[in-house]
Amino acid sequence: MSEHKDFLRTIVEKDLKAGKYEEVVTRFPPEPNGFPHIGHAKSIAINFGIARDYNGHCNLRMDDTNPTTEDTKYVEALKDAVEWLGFDWEGDVRFTSDYFSKLYDYAIELIKMGKAYVDSVGEEEMRELRGTVTEAGKRSKYAERSVEENLDLFERMKNGEFKEGEHILRAKIDMSAANMKMRDPLMYRIRHEHHFRAGDAWAIYPMYDFAHCLSDYIEGVTHSICTLEFENNRDIYNWVLDTLGLEPPHPYQHEFARLGINYTVMSKRKLLELVESGVVNGWDDPRLPTIAGYRRKGYTPESILNFCDSIGIAKANSMVDLAQLEFSIRDDLNKKVPRVMCVLDPLKVTLTNYEGTEELDASYYPEDVPKEGSRKLPFSKEIYIDRADFMEEPPKGYFRLTPEQPVRLKHAYIITCKEVIKDANGTIVEIKAEYHPDSKSGQDTSGIKVKSAIQWVDGKAHKEVEVRLYDRLFACEAPEDIEDINTDSLKVINNALVEPAVVNEKPDERFQFEREGYFYADPVDYTDEKPVFNKIVGLKDSYSKKKKSPKSESKAQVKKVQVDGEVVPMNEAEQALFDRYTNTLKLNGMVADILARDEKLSAFYDEALNELDSPVNLANIVANDVARELKEKDVNTLNFSAKQIAELVKMLDDETISSKIAKQVFEEMVKSGENPRDIVEAKGLIQISDLAVISPIIDEVIAKNPDNVEKFKAGNTKLLGFFVGQVLKATGGKANPQVVNQLVNEKLK
């Protein structure tokens, strides 16, 4: 759970504290008329997340009151989505249709109270009688029917004696209400349709406004969380429960902003259109914003949940940039998945001076990733590289293989081009090159300078695979319908080549194909004969880069003009800094890279180092937090100095504060320009490492969560994080995480 509570959690906490409810009960109430999309993921994350955070429970309820559009296959898809995201619903899946009898009885009660009536006006007249925002409406003459007549008609409606539209049941509320929704809203309508669960038992079906509040009440829901468009329906929600005089506690409705993402459509109706028209290949097409689509594409549940968390819960609708979702998956996979080589567009290279074969050792993970594992890379006289990695007449800034410029084969040798062979049309069909025997990766004594390392596969020992590259399904930011489709959203490559370990060892289902992006073994079409990989996301956000105007780029950046996502080599000064950072100061490569390539940052870092000899912790805060500030500002307009950053890190080093608190203090420094030590003292943020203080807090958390204790003891060690998190939360992030971790572990043994 994020540090700052959202407004829904604030409400829930207040209600619990006030004793309004004993336990939080939420529900996720989709209509089973389509596959759930990422907007539903947000609703799932909120409803199930709140129930989890406050030890309550969350129901999964199919809101199946519309017989024409609903289907079991959608019920299954909804269950799948919730489970895949890692949540459990309480008990069985519920269905509004299971409450049809109860709802009918409640309707009869309202009729008997004179609070509901059968109306028989036509649609048009009804609209006229409703009035306008500035003009009160009028009741139809049928509102004068007696209770007996209403009861009789309603029963016959139910029995199917009337045609659709002949009668409706309306609540008798107020035809001049300022909230138009309160002008005698519909409660039931006649539908001669077969219901996928209730069969033909009913000729009338309840409306959302009547069914939803009562279903919530029947299930003991406490917080009925829905999207903003239901704001005006809240009055009806409360009216129904109050008018029926139902025994408290009642559920209350709270609204949040629905999620919208650019370059996509998000209503089930429009998604259904795309599926039915064959524009996409089914509900799980990786181009759709459905949960099944993201799942098939290779997104992880974690990345979706992190995304939902990162966008927060708001009270005003807004559009989220697709790039933010893509960031979440990239961020999740970056340190998780093996990095392997795949050549999408093979070009043969013959190494004229190489004989025999060998197997090269290659780690699956880069050095800064704390995962282990490696594979053998077969290497011989013939290899394939990507066609894009060779250019005969390269533009300036091209760092890969050219007739003049050698290149490194990743994990292998440096090669130099000797001859370019073309067919009759002038298309390059082969490169003859020489390898440098003393340039083997990790033991390079050749002294040859190269500007990049490229992926390759062995000429014989490789596997041909299908690769599916996806682009945005829509060509414009706020698409309306199929007209706005991007006709190039899927590109299939039939004969890409991967190194053998990918398909033989199968170290994972997801991979980083070096320099290409993240890929996922398609869960449906993949076979050992023909492996299929879906591109999940590229290595960087290629769109936002293109959008940047050249004007906004500083001179230093312009110098680094590059050809399609190449890693830019460092200049000499940068390289010298990088070497010092990694070799002498032992910074990890990524942090060193960020600092070395940015003059402002490296100067700031060196100044802070003069104050405090704590290279790693200083580097982390400078490369992450200070870097963010320096992006927009100049050093002398910053609200803090290098000296103050050193002071902050000093407190971190001597464990006065936790790293979580350090972030908080930094934010405060940015805003107020105060000294870190003053901030810590004024706000009482000193880290708690005292066992006597922490121990009872842990006991309390353990006592409050018997279910999780049991699960932990039964072997679900992942819950350690839950307990530690709860304790940290209880101390406002001030408890020393290491101490908490150790102590929790001991207590749960």
Angle between the 659-672 and 642-653 helix axes, to the nearest 10 degrees? 160
**Residue 706: Cβ within 10 Å count:** 10
Residue nearest to ligand ATP as judged by C-beta position: 39
Angle between the 737-748 and 719-730 helix axes, to the nearest 10 degrees? 130
| Binding region for ligand ATP (CB under 6 A) out of 65-73, 264-272, 524-532, 661-669 | 264-272
Residue nearest to Mg ion as judged by C-beta position: 31
Tokens of 377: 């890379």
Asked whether the bond before 29 is cis by omega within 30 degrees of 0, the reply is no
Residue 262 CA to residue 243 CA, distance in Å, equals: 42
Choose the catalytic residue: 115, 156, 197, 258: 258
258 is catalytic: yes
Q: State the binding partner of 5 from ligand ATP, Mg ion, none, CB within 5 to 8 A by kind.
A: none
83 is catalytic: no
Residue located via tokens 């500002």: 633
In 3-state terms, what secondary structure has residue 338? coil
Q: State the binding partner of 39 from ligand ATP, Mg ion, none, CB within 5 to 8 A by kind.
A: ligand ATP
Q: Which of 266, 428, 448, 627 binds ligand ATP (CB under 6 A)?
A: 266
597 is catalytic: no
Beta strands 382-386 and 456-458: pairing type? antiparallel
Q: State the binding partner of 56 from ligand ATP, Mg ion, none, CB within 5 to 8 A by kind.
A: none
| Binding region for ligand ATP (CB under 6 A) out of 149-157, 259-267, 419-427, 512-520 | 259-267
The residue among 40 and 223 lying less far from ligand ATP, judged by its C-beta, is: 40
Choose the catalytic residue: 268, 375, 400, 410: 268
Residue located via tokens 């709860």: 726
**CA dist 75 to 214, 635, 740, Å?**
21, 57, 42
Interacting residues with ligand ATP between 26 and 55 (CB under 6 A): 29-31, 39-40, 42-43
| Binding region for ligand ATP (CB under 6 A) out of 23-31, 307-315, 326-334, 558-566 | 23-31
Q: Which of 156, 258, 580, 643 binds ligand ATP (CB under 6 A)?
A: 258
Task: Give 98's Cβ-side CA count (13 Å radius).
Answer: 10
CB of 269 to ligand ATP, least distance (A): 6
Tokens of 358: 């060998």
Q: Kindly give, in sequence order, each residue whose CB lies less than 8 Å from that of residue 315, ignoring residues fewer than 6 positions away.
A: 7, 228, 255, 256, 257
CA torsion through residues 351, 352, 357, 359, sign: negative
Q: Kindly give, in sequence order, each residue whose CB lies less than 8 Å from that of residue 476, ignoring residues fewer than 6 positions away.
A: 263, 484
CB of 131 to ligand ATP, least distance (A): 27
Beta strands 407-409 and 94-95: pairing type? unpaired
Helix (H) or strand (E) holding 351: strand 346-351
Interacting residues with ligand ATP between 688 and 707 (CB under 6 A): none
The residue among 259 and 621 lying less far from ligand ATP, judged by its C-beta, is: 259
The residue among 131 and 282 lying less far from ligand ATP, judged by its C-beta, is: 282
The residue among 31 and 174 lying less far from Mg ion, judged by its C-beta, is: 31
Q: State the binding partner of 650 from ligand ATP, Mg ion, none, CB within 5 to 8 A by kind.
A: none
Residue 743: alpha-carbon gap to chain centroid: 33
Q: State the binding partner of 43 from ligand ATP, Mg ion, none, CB within 5 to 8 A by kind.
A: ligand ATP
CB of 267 to ligand ATP, least distance (A): 4
CB of 323 to Mg ion, least distance (A): 28
Report the chain's terminal Cα–Cα distance, integer Å: 25
Q: Between vectors from CA 151 to CA 148 and to CA 154, what angle results, nearest 5°? A: 145
The residue among 270 and 381 lying less far from ligand ATP, judged by its C-beta, is: 270
Beta-bridge partners for 418: none
Query: Site map for ligand ATP, 169-208, x if CB under 6 A?
Result: ----------------------------------------
The residue among 198 and 271 lying less far from ligand ATP, judged by its C-beta, is: 271
Interacting residues with Mg ion between 25 and 84 (CB under 5 A): 31
In 3-state terms, what secondary structure has residue 565? coil
**Residue 510: Cβ within 10 Å count:** 21
Beta-bridge partners for 172: none
Beta-bridge partners for 420: 431
Choose the catalytic residue: 5, 13, 20, 31: 31
CB of 50 to ligand ATP, least distance (A): 13
Interacting residues with ligand ATP between 209 and 248 (CB under 6 A): 226-227
Which stretches of the chain bind ligand ATP, using CB under 6 A?
Answer: 29-31, 39-40, 42-43, 63, 226-227, 258-259, 266-268
Which stretches of the chain bind Mg ion, using CB under 5 A?
Answer: 31
Residues designated catalytic: 31, 258, 268
